[in-house]
Amino acid sequence: MALNDVRNLNDQWIATWTHLRGIEASELDGWPLVHVGSPSRETELVCVEPGVDRFLELMRHIDGDPRAMLTVAAHDVGPYLTAPRPASVRLDRDDEALMSTHLVDLPVPPLEADLTFRWDVDDHSVTYTLESGTSVAANGTVAVLGQVATFDRIETTPAFQRRGLGRHVMATLTAQAMGRGATHGVLAASAQGRPLYTSLGWQTRLEMLSLMGA
């Protein structure tokens, strides 16, 4: 994808992600600063293909701050990963990817007899949860902004993995998103989740690397 295209995709992800979580984003040094306010971090500064020199300059915003994150999205994060960084900046993760797809109807695998489902709807998002008795087996959340949907926190509890529940959740949430007018999807995928999304037709657009203050 061309640089403008991937930057537009990143903007779509941030817009839908902040809408989903009911949080805000501002701007810092020309890049989106997401006010996450979660247990893991207070802020996340996200840049797309800034170049290593510019990336090194942006590290000053997280230097020594354990609640601040700097994320770079690039076709190849290798140069950013190997760039020198201060002792007060640490690697948080380097295995995520920004993925997107044109949404299509997906076959929804049937649920096994021991599982039930629950919907939770708020002003920003819809969460779908599968349960076995009082235990959560799998869940996921989707939000739609305009014609773009983002999927978040798609998780299967270890005891229920390898039963196709992730595929069931994604297919169900995709139908929900399309019913709300979405035509395209975007998400930040972990290394563990990427094979599932790829099997459903999603494409990796950018690698992602995140640093935090130490």
E-state strands within the chain: 24-28, 31-35, 43-48, 68-74, 89-102, 116-121, 126-132, 135-145, 148-156, 184-189, 203-213
Residue 46 vs residues 28, 50, 112, 120, 209: alpha-carbon distances, Å: 10, 10, 40, 29, 10
Report the pLDDT value the prediction gives residue 47, as an integer from 0 to 100.
97
90 and 109 co-located in one domain: no
Residue indicated by tokens 């690397």: 209
Whichever domain contains 175, its CATH number is 3.40.630.30
9 and 90 co-located in one domain: yes
Q: 21-53 burial, b for 16+ CB within 10 Å, e for fewer? A: beeebeeeeebbbbebeeeebebbbbbbbbeee
Q: How many CB atoms are closer than 10 A to CB 162?
A: 8
195 lies in some domain: no
142 and 160 co-located in one domain: yes
Domain count of the fold of the chain: 2
192 lies in some domain: no
Angle 125-204-188 (CA atoms, 0-180°, nearest 5)? 30
From first to last of its 214 residues, the chain has per-residue pLDDT tens of 777 888 889 999 999 999 999 999 999 999 999 999 999 999 999 999 999 999 999 999 999 999 999 999 999 999 999 999 999 999 999 999 999 999 999 999 899 899 999 999 988 899 999 999 999 999 999 999 999 999 999 999 999 999 999 999 999 999 999 999 999 999 999 999 999 999 999 999 999 999 999 9
67 lies in some domain: yes
What is the pTM assigned to this prediction?
0.92
> For residue 45, which amino acid is it?
L
108 and 77 co-located in one domain: no
Report the pLDDT value the prediction gives residue 71, as an integer from 0 to 100.
98
190 lies in some domain: no
201 lies in some domain: no
Whichever domain contains 88, its CATH number is 3.40.1350
